[in-house]
Amino acid sequence: MNLRRVTAVSKKEFLHVLRDRRSLGLAIAIPVLMLMLFGYALTLDVDHVPLVVWDQSSSDASREFIAGFNGSPYFSLREYADNYRQLERAIDRGDALAALIIPDDFARRIQTGRAVDVQLIVDGSDSNTATIAMGYADVITRIYSQNTILHVMQRRMGRTQELPVDYRPRVWFNTDLQSRNYIIPGLIAVIMMIITALLTSLTVAREWERGTMEQLIATPVQAGELILGKLLPYFAIGMVDMTLAVVMGQFIFSVPLRGSVALLFLIAMVFLGGVLCMGMFISIVAKGQLIASQLAILLTFIPSYLLSGFVFSIPNMPKVIQVVTYVIPARYFIAILKGIYLKGVGLEILWGQALLLAIFGAATVTLAKLKFKKKLT
């Protein structure tokens, strides 16, 4: 490989990128815009669930029970209802996601130590939110029941009775359970894969459409030199985008970065190299900018968003789909990003994912080089 020829091709591509200021601006602005949009809009946290209550008891005991819901950050009491029809209208209009119904004998049963049935109606049209809301309601109800049992036992026995098991959960790596702390690292991988593959998918295809490929073929530049020279400018743009994403995650979204920054960028370079070669392979195969861009979106955005474990848990997918996820490079990069960001681990833990990313990069380089032929066919 001749370094002089690689430099010449790279310089030509750099000039093209710098002269096309609109595309260069979009290459920088789109990742920032996507990170801002997804970072603020995409959240898996469920809180302030709108709640409507029909309190048929209207007693101190029922008001204390309702206070457990109203005082938590997970429910927001919107209104009190007087009948079932009013509850139905509130849920149908979307004013409430859940409805709590307290029977008229609530206080009497509580005071006599008997069990009482309380109904919770949940709008199941959003199954994920409904499931989480029911979990919150179950916890609040259990806390109220435990406190009531302890109060009754204290009144009967004349002394304080402690529960036999003192449950104290402790959350590691994401103490506040903020969804943005694992969404932002995943977004970095998805955005980097989309942007870099899309940019390089147009390089060779653009040469064919403009009729300049014939001139390149006539030069002594070899296939590997041409591919490397064309990739270097977009590699630089990808690293700029990566730097912007890391800075935004740190200072705008306050995502903790506990691991090695050097390791983060080193593995990002491996990932970018593989994705860039993937875009180059698409460009070589398509020979048209429109088809190349469509293929790049199809082969990067959908798999990296749906099948990488970014949003949907891979173990919950069907077995066949789980097998397919092993060929999605974003799966391994997202796992590495979360390990470095949240857990602060290094290659002693992440070496397997890093090795698979390196294999992916080597495979895409080989495919692009084998597919590119210096001839007019």
Identify whether the C-beta of residue 172 lies closer than 8 Å to the C-beta of residue 345.
no
Structure token pair of residue 157: 């026995």
Q: Sorting pLDDT into bands at 50, 70 and 90, what band is 376?
A: very low
Q: For 305-317, what is each residue's pLDDT tens digit?
A: 888 888 788 888 8
Q: Sorting pLDDT into bands at 50, 70 and 90, what band is 341?
A: very high
> What is the distance, to the nearest Å, from the Cα of residue 41 to the centroid of all Cα atoms in its chain?
11
Backbone angles phi, psi at 143, to 5 degrees: -65, -45
Q: For 277-300, what is each residue's pLDDT tens digit?
A: 888 888 878 777 778 888 888 888
Q: For 96-115, what is each residue's pLDDT tens digit?
A: 999 999 999 998 888 887 88
DSSP state of 211: T
- d(CA 1, CA 10) in angstroms, rounded, equals 14
**CATH code given to domain 49-157:** 3.40.1710.10
Which range among 106-120, 186-200, 208-222, 251-265 has the greatest average pLDDT? 251-265
pLDDT in the model for residue 120: 93
pLDDT in the model for residue 2: 73
Within 13 Å of residue 97, how many CA atoms lie on the same side as its CB? 20
Mean pLDDT for 162-190 is: 80
The helix or strand, by DSSP H or E, that contains position 34, with its residue range, turns out to be: helix 21-41
pTM of the model: 0.80
Q: Sorting pLDDT into bands at 50, 70 and 90, what band is 76?
A: very high
The residue written with tokens 């690293």 in the block is: 239
Residue 188, pLDDT > 80, answer yes
**Domain extents in the chain:** 3-43+178-371, 49-157
Identify whether the C-beta of residue 272 lies closer than 8 Å to the C-beta of residue 196.
yes
pLDDT in the model for residue 160: 60
